[in-house]
Structure 1
Amino acid sequence: IWADIHGPDHPKVSTARKYLAKLLKALGKDGEAERQYDIAIATLERILDPNSPNYASDLLNLARLLQDQGYYDKAKPYYECALKMFEEKFGPDHPKVAKAL
């Protein structure tokens, strides 16, 4: 519905995809969840500042999903990118940095 109202590149659409991905993960549909995170992240790359905390949070969510599936090498660059973004935005002692470690 959000995509019909606002278009596919609106932040609300990306947020809806993120929540859908979380739901799919909870249902054990990891492949579908990964696809929704990928689409949400690609949308945020187009519409937000690349240092946005929202973008970093989505990278972190995707990294956790991949880690939970045992794809550690695939998850690592997402963790590293999110960690760097959180450190630059909030400083090294912020709780968001701790979540990315």
Structure 2
Amino acid sequence: MANPSADSARDFSDYRIWMWVWCAAATVATAVAFGVLFPYQTVDRTTGEPLEPGYGWPAFMGGLVIGAIACIPVMIGVHTLFRIQHNTALAADRLRVREPRD
């Protein structure tokens, strides 16, 4: 097998990859929870009696939208915290006293 080129290689230690994975998982989890919490109730057209409630697919779609919108402030916060951590580490590295090498 050929080795992947530098352009296509993924750095899995990069926090942005995991932030997007978390956002996708949280969005789907929110949608599934909405579908369970808000079942779709149908009515029999001949008798007018309610049928067995089914999975709430309309609520699932609403949960996808709400979950995606809810991820935005979290992603901004995580990105800001990692940038602060990175800048603090750079400043600390510049201030560190280095011993001369012989």
Q: Common fold, TM-score beyond 0.5?
A: no
Answer with 1 or 2: which has the greater Rg: 2
TM-score category of the 2 structures, normalised to the smaller one: under 0.3
Which protein has greater RCO, CA pairs closer than 8 Å, 6+ apart?
2
Decide which structure has greater helix share: 1
